[in-house]
Structure formats: structure tokens, C-alpha cells
Copies of this chain bind each other. A is one copy, B any other.
Amino acid sequence: MPDQFSFEILTKDNHARAGVFYTPHGDISTPVFAPVGTQATVKAMTPAELEIIGATLILANTYHLYLRPGDDLIAELGGLHQFMHWNGPILTDSGGFQVYSLNDIRKINDQGVVFKSHIDGSAHLLTPEKSIAIQENLGADIIMTLDECASPFDRQYNEIAMTRTHDWAERCLSAKNRSDQALFGIVQGGIFPDLRTKSAEFIASLNFPGYAIGGLSVGESKEEMNLMIETVNQVLPKNKPRYLMGVGAPIDIINAVLRGVDIFDCVLPTRLARHNAALTWQERLNLANAKYSRDGKPIEPGCTCYTCQNFSRAYIRHLVMAKEMLAATLLSIHNVHSLIHLMGEIRQAIIEHRIRDFAIKQFGLEI
């Protein structure tokens, strides 16, 4: 039996890797896409529906769960797996990203971040030690170091934020007590290749069981994103999983896989669903559009998901127009299925050494 948190690469196809990451709650076949269950629920879906789709890894947000219902409460009730009834692997983020993105009033210094709750305005201090303590209460299989996500374009500030991120990474490592959780380090450095290299070198030196690339998909160009991924992955150890945080558009996923990324997460499929949009690898359909009102076809002909096997575009449009909750559920099922199916096809293509052909044929990439 492989060691817990070991990463086994089955096949490499150029820079793309097909592997398995071993966790206490099951093996994660990579490349993998993790649906996001911000508040301990992947919105509008039951765990049973996620299981049928073939989801393995689920992400939950430390910021939200710390504020409500509270990590102590979740620990008391047996931890996040039992609380949300997800028996597969779970990843929690550090809480940092939401502190930066959901709060106007905050103060950041080397100690940590002071923020006010978006729920009741109460003040809280998030430090590296606090983030680890919360994540240990939640009990996910993969937990993340607290980092600072700076705007990617400000070089001077990115140097400060990077240094702070490195300092916090060491403090997170020291604060960690549980042996049944893998703590991943996070590389920052904005859009600056030299900073990214420096950050990857430092974080890699701390010998984490996995590495994340943070601070991307936040306004930079596709070329910048791809270059940063390439830069970082040249430095990161080859035998550890690499996680590109917050990325979920099919074209971004394939580009990152081609550059050696193994793990992805994004709210995209479920958020689009709640805005009436169906996701395919190539396009997005707005199901509120009148042109679908008498369309008896499934969202995506040939798709094997529960939604496409049983319901027409016309029916889903009706649910959208009638503001029925089932619209979000059926669209979420399709959208999450679409991405998880994509990961399966990507993995198979890597194993068969045809990932470049796959990328060219399915996405028209010029590589």
C-alpha cells in the first residue's frame, strides 16, 4: 500500500502527468477537478449526485466555515467529512483569499489579517497559526498555508506579499499538529517570472507534500498565466502534486495540464448553473434564451449526465423562466459532470501519450 500523501506518476506525456495522490479518504486520480462546496455544500447538489458524477476531491472554504457554523462546531460533530457527508477527499483553503476578496475593511501586517465578518460585521484576526487551527478542526485531507494574494501587477507590493507568504508558510508548517492532513505550500509572485522562480524555490525548500500556484486567474492575460505556470513548474519538484488554485474554465485547464498542473478547483460550473448557463468544453449556453423554448434536445447531445439523459433544453428553460430550483440542480449536475468528464478524458489522453493531439483536436490549441 502506498504511503499516505505520496504522489505516484503513472505516465508523463510531455509536461502533462497522469497520477494518483493517496489520501486518508481515498485515492485521487489526477489531473483532477475539485467542485467547490463553499459552505460545506456544493451548491444545489446532493453528495449522492456528486458521487454519481464521479467527483473525488471537494473543496470547502475555511473563511466561510470558520464564521458559520464555526470550525469548533464542525469538529464537535465529527469533522467536515461527516458534517457534509462527503466520504471522499476534501481540501480546505486557508481562508486568506476570501478575507481579501469579500471584505472591504481589513488590515494586513506580518502578524496576520484583521477582517470584519461579511455576515455580522464582527472583527476577526486570521494568522497562519489560526488558519491551521481552523483547518485542523475542519479535518480536510489537504489543507493550505495562509498566503497573501496581492494584485498581480504591482511589482513592489508583490515582493512584500511574497516575503510575507514565505514567512507565513514556515509558521503554518510549525503550527501543524495533525499527521492525517497534507499541508500544501503556495507559490506567489504576481506576473513576475523572477519573483515566481524565487517563490517556487523557497516554498519547494520547505518540502511540502504538494504545491499550489496562487494569485493567478485574477485579471492577468492568458499568456501571462501560462508563462507563470511554466516558470513555477520548472522549479517545483516533479514528484509532488501541483495545484492551480481557482481555475476551472476548460481552456485554462487544458493549458495548465500541458504545463504540468495536476489539481484544479473552481466555482465556475455551479456558479454558471445558478446563472442559467450550461457549460460545454467549447462554449456556454444561456438557457434563459428564447431560442431554447421548444428545443427538445438535451443541453449537450451525447452527454451521459443525468440531466442530458433525461431532460430537454426546453424543460430546463421552462424551469429557469419559472424560477424553479431544479434548474440550478440540473445545470449544476451537467456543468460539474462536464468538467469531471473532461478530466477523465485528459487523463486517458495522457496515459495514451496523445495529450497534444487531444488539446489540438478538442480545443484548437496551436502547440
Contacts and interface: CB of A to CB of B under 8 A. Distances in A.
Contacts of A44: 325-326, 329
B314 A77 contact: yes
Contact of A68 (B78, B310, B318): B318
Interface stretch (A20-28, A35-43, A104-112, A193-201): A35-43
A83 interface: yes
Interface string A187-226: 0000000000000000000000000000000000000000
Contacts of A352: none
A346 to B, nearest CB: 28
A275 to B, nearest CB: 14
A46 to B, nearest CB: 6
A285 interface: no
Contact of A39 (B311, B318, B329): B318
A47 interface: yes
B306 A77 contact: no
Contact of A41 (B83, B85, B326): B326
A291 to B, nearest CB: 14
B83 A312 contact: yes
A54 interface: no
A252 interface: no
A322 B40 CA distance: 10
A297 to B, nearest CB: 11
A69 interface: yes
Interface in A295-345: 296, 306, 310-312, 314-315, 317-319, 321-322, 324-326, 328-330
A118 to B, nearest CB: 12
Contact of A77 (B68, B73, B296, B319): B296
A154 interface: no
Interface in A72-111: 73, 76-78, 83-85
Contacts of A47: 310
A45 interface: yes
A326 B312 CA distance: 23
A40 B325 contact: no
A306 B46 contact: yes
Given A293-B73, A322-B68, A84 B46 contact: no
A48 interface: yes
A294 interface: yes
A43 to B, nearest CB: 6
Contacts of A306: 46, 48
Contacts of A77: 294, 296, 312, 314-315
Please name the 7 residue pairs, one residue from A and one from B, whose CB atoms are nearest each other, closest first: A69-B318, A85-B310, A39-B322, A41-B326, A44-B325, A41-B324, A77-B296
Interface of A: 39-41, 43-49, 64, 68-69, 73, 76-78, 83-85, 293-294, 296, 306, 310-312, 314-315, 317-319, 321-322, 324-326, 328-330
Given A48-B306, A68-B321, 9 more contacts: A41-B324, A43-B325, A44-B326, A45-B326, A46-B49, A46-B326, A47-B310, A83-B315, A83-B318
